[in-house]
Amino acid sequence: MCYNTAMMNTTLPQSNTAPACTTLGSGVWLAFRHIAGTSAPAVPPPAAGAHLLSVEFCRRGRHALPAGDYCTIAADGHAAVSMTAAGADDYYPGAVYEGLQFWIDPDAQTDSGFLALMGLDVHGIINYFCAGGPYYCPMGDELAALVDELWREFDVSGYASPGELRYAVVRLLYMLLQLPYADQMAWYPRAQVDLVRDAETLMLADLSVRHTARELAVQFGVSESSFKAYCRDVLGDGYLPYFRRKRLEKAADLLAHTDLKVQDIAVQVGYESQSKFAKAFADQFRLTPLEYRRLAEK
């Protein structure tokens, strides 16, 4: 039977993870973010109320960027620049995110800081990118290759030298400034995004429960067609395909990391029939549940 080995790496535990920030200088922090969940512990650590320049390079997943009563969605393969409040609770539609992100406190920058010494004007960057709210654009091949290179090096060495990280941040900013300015972004009402966030949180809390789109639409006070449209906009997928995929990804995680029987796993992810679960799993992963378990054990 043919199978897709890349699928073995798509499952993450249903928990929130956010590595501690590395402080690169006065008011500059960097993190390589692996997030499994719709939210993550707030980073970086400055006092509440500080407004920070956030620059992120999304390798995988989605991130809702709020601006007043609206949000835009940064997706994989995009760079995003925004102003954010320190300690803000971010929303990651789809509950999986990988990205390289750094934050800059503009009020903490001085002429002797490493950004200024490298010719970077933080206030000018803010005025260029954030005058109209959050900004995002495709990274392009060259910038995406640099982000992947930094990601791989971080996984291998952990970047022992802060100097290497400072240099990386400078390179990323200069390459970002060289990209063509893209002003076409989709904006969604904040209430719509918050509704999907609440629905997604409810769905993921107990995957053994099957929630229909109609049931959730009634619960959240919108029409079924509107609820489905909101999910497509925010999650980047239809409600049913998204919910099915999450149930099967959870099953794959349980197969790989527990000794539970296949029948018990099927029940935990909302399948009363083991045969229907096995068929859905094989359609998703091109492997039977037992084949997946054996391969995960190698």
pLDDT level of residue 17 (50, 70, 90 thresholds): very low
**Percent of the chain having pLDDT more than 90?**
63
Q: What is the mean pLDDT of residues 126-130?
A: 92
How many C-beta neighbours within 10 Å does residue 294 have?
12
Asked if 86 contacts 47 with a C-beta cutoff of 8 angstroms, the reply is yes
* Structure-block tokens of residue 215: 């049931």
User: In which residue are the tokens 């094989």 written?
Assistant: 282
How far is the C-alpha of 263 from the C-alpha of 266, rounded, in Å?
A: 5
DSSP string, 78-103: EEEEEEEETT---B-TTSEEEEEEEE
pLDDT computed for residue 159 by the predictor: 60
pLDDT computed for residue 36 by the predictor: 87
Model confidence at 158: pLDDT above 70? no
Model confidence at 111: pLDDT above 90? yes
The pTM of this model reads 0.84
**Which residues are 54's β-sheet partners?**
82, 103
Phi-psi region of 138 (alpha: psi -120 to 50; beta: other; left: phi over 0): beta
pLDDT tens digit sequence for 242-284: 999 999 999 999 999 999 999 999 999 999 899 999 999 999 9
Model confidence at 18: pLDDT above 60? no
pLDDT computed for residue 90 by the predictor: 85
Mean pLDDT estimate for the chain:
86
- Report the chain's C-alpha Rg in angstroms: 21
* Structure-block tokens of residue 98: 């990988």
pLDDT computed for residue 49 by the predictor: 62
